[in-house]
Chains A and B, each alone.
Chain A
């Protein structure tokens, strides 16, 4: 055993191992000590990892503990004193959910978050699955370039589209044909600014490149003989898509759905931009961010509020982690 241990710690590559041991001036007597030391050294990485785990968990854990402490306790002492003091309460949670002057009104905000995240998850899936199938299995001219062009938009920062999109939702999109005075309406004015619809429409557009990329990665690996056989039986693309591709792609669809749901639930930028001053439509992220900004009466509710907002994604995360990870992997490892 000691020879493999000695080998695994040091010595330049290619150095003669037996020679290394023969040079050991301490001889056999210290070999037991050596084994102990080597075992200790080899356990160091595990200690580093668990230290990292602790450091990574403390911030969330401390917020969690704080959310059960009374307002005065939160102001007077750190969360670690609550282990000895006890004195827990659920008041913060009931206060932050109910709506009122000095409470959070987070219940309505949670509903708003669902109102944004659900359409923003389902609609891109439907649209992107169709496109991904076509990019993978329907040959047409310019397919490759269209696909690469679409997917390269993955890296596009949302910021470059926000201002024109807001203008479009607020007043429609009009294009004056150059050289003439004529105006062509590309998108009518539905006065969508400030509504959840504007938010999920924006999410849908921004999600498509990633969705198409991820679903294409999966759908293009489905066995082609399956489609061939179906085509011989007289099935057309619609039938193949609906009867074969969709059922077989459920894992990829689920992975994207979870990914997109978490993303839209946690989004702040797009909702803030599209909703503007329409406070009654704010999702939970904007609500807790504005509570954090006011440094006042409601500060003791902030930890509970942050936890309520994070509760849904954490549940999703714990129960569906495998799908979420699969979505991440499909999005980045394969290409």
Chain B
């Protein structure tokens, strides 16, 4: 309870002091007009006393004697007397004109309104920021100047930036997947372009394929180029892109289903949970227990259960039957699409059938999920170590943040979609546009600024990701990120120089976003 009392007293003191300051200045301004000389005398005395206190308080070092000898009280009283005298003389000598009163008043008033906030911002943000930049140029104790050596250490250390695996990019399946998708995108765009008599025509679907290819490519790159800095970039790219995309998807669909608010609330709910709590929640999802024991984490339990569906056990045939039935339906749908000349249906259902065929092959052949064949072809559970296996454990940690941030993107984009002027959409409908055209040619262009805002907000947030990594791995298993590295260097090793340099690197990462925000605000005003 003592803590709560402390909080209560803190609130009372702060709010009380603000109110007193307010009321005091309020009275003061009334007084300035009527009793200028007295006000001048009193304020002169205050300034003098403050100057006396300040001067007598200045020391030539933290431990040494004050610069001005003698009792501080004498200095303060002396300062007050001198200042008061000077104020009285000045007040009698130069009476205020009404215009000057007004000017002084309005400046002082603005100051009393803005002052407290500016004081907090200066003491809590600006000065610490400058000091961090200053400290980043010094050694770990903050005494010996090192120039940019701390930054050099960050970008040459293999722990934080390891580009030696670059050739692995070209060996990964993700890379080839990306290449295939890029080729597909180009082929579709060229084909559509030829049909319409232009060089290349990018439909929204084509652009979507390209974005997917870009994401795959980024995963291939980040899985091969390792280190703290690369992990951080991976987080920024993957979480920002996937959260925004999933949020947009949810917002668009929710706009046209029944029980919209229920669906949105449930997707939005993780926003109320702390990053620490979310980390714990997902740790329970990712638990991997020894193969001979029951799996208590949902994901590994499902994985192992799929593994038990082997041809020898019969379970696989049931799975194959279900999959085959769905495949046949998809084939029918594809034929329907071809006959109706609905390319989207034909291509979509054919594409959807590919993974099903692959799954059928896996069920009949090598098996699906976490199991390997034992000596007598009995399945032995094999679990996924979601948290430990590098580099993709990074992705499993990102899933936690995506799970949280999708709701954020959804809520904001949903509001933007609803704010699209109805007459705009109506006009497009009257012109004969269908649902898809309305979305891609009216709604989407209208909400692009909001998408930008969501993505910049997300970049700023993801850049400094800390809690999730600290709770789930504490940066072990190749999941270190800059913010956690910064915390460990600064507050467990007390390496002020390196810790500050890492913080400055984070700061430099958001500088472009800050610039963008400033430009947007300037345009807005």
Contacts and interface: CB of A to CB of B under 8 A. Distances in A.
A59 B281 contact: yes
Interface in B283-317: 283-285, 294-298, 301
B257 A46 contact: yes
Interface string B1-37: 1011011101100110010001000100100000000
A163 B135 contact: yes
Interface of A is mostly: helix
Interface string B328-358: 0000010010011111110000000000000
B125 A161 contact: yes
Interface string A1-33: 000101111111100010010011110000001
A20 B434 CA distance: 15
A157 interface: yes
B393 interface: no
A273 B491 contact: yes
A57 B280 CA distance: 15
Interface in B192-207: 192, 195-196
A160 B116 CA distance: 22
B3 A173 contact: no
A49 B344 contact: no
A289 B471 contact: yes
A232 interface: no
A268 B275 contact: yes
B509 to A, nearest CB: 8
A134 B113 contact: yes
B272 A173 contact: no
Contacts of A289: 276, 279, 467, 470-471
B435 interface: yes
B10 A75 contact: no
A290 B51 CA distance: 49
A11 B340 CA distance: 10
B442 to A, nearest CB: 12
A52 B246 CA distance: 9
Given A12-B195, A165-B128, A333-B419, 17 more contacts: A45-B256, A48-B253, A49-B253, A53-B266, A58-B285, A63-B284, A77-B294, A78-B296, A161-B128, A162-B490, A266-B276, A285-B277, A310-B273, A317-B269, A317-B272, A329-B411, A335-B521
B11 A78 contact: no
Sorting the interface of chain B by its residue count into under 10, 10 to 19, 20 to 34 or 35 or more gives 35 or more
A268 B274 contact: yes
A164 B128 contact: yes
A110 to B, nearest CB: 10
Nearest to A201: B124
Interface of B: 1, 3-4, 6-8, 10-11, 14-15, 18, 22, 26, 29, 57-62, 67, 106-107, 109-110, 112-114, 116-118, 120-121, 123-129, 131-132, 135, 192, 195-196, 246, 249-250, 252-254, 256-257, 263, 265-277, 279-285, 294-298, 301, 333, 336, 339-345, 403, 406-408, 411-412, 415-416, 419, 432, 434-437, 441, 450, 453-454, 456-457, 460, 463-464, 466-467, 470-471, 474, 483, 486-487, 490-491, 496, 499-500, 502-504, 506-507, 509-510, 513-514, 517-518, 520-522, 524-525
Sorting the interface of chain A by its residue count into under 10, 10 to 19, 20 to 34 or 35 or more gives 35 or more
A269 interface: yes
B11 to A, nearest CB: 5
Interface string A106-126: 001001101110110011001
B295 A78 contact: yes
Contacts of A267: 274
- The 8 residue pairs across chains A and B that have the minimum distance between CB atoms: A205-B124, A266-B274, A134-B113, A161-B128, A131-B117, A317-B272, A164-B128, A115-B7
A238 B509 CA distance: 41
B522 A148 contact: yes
A267 to B, nearest CB: 8
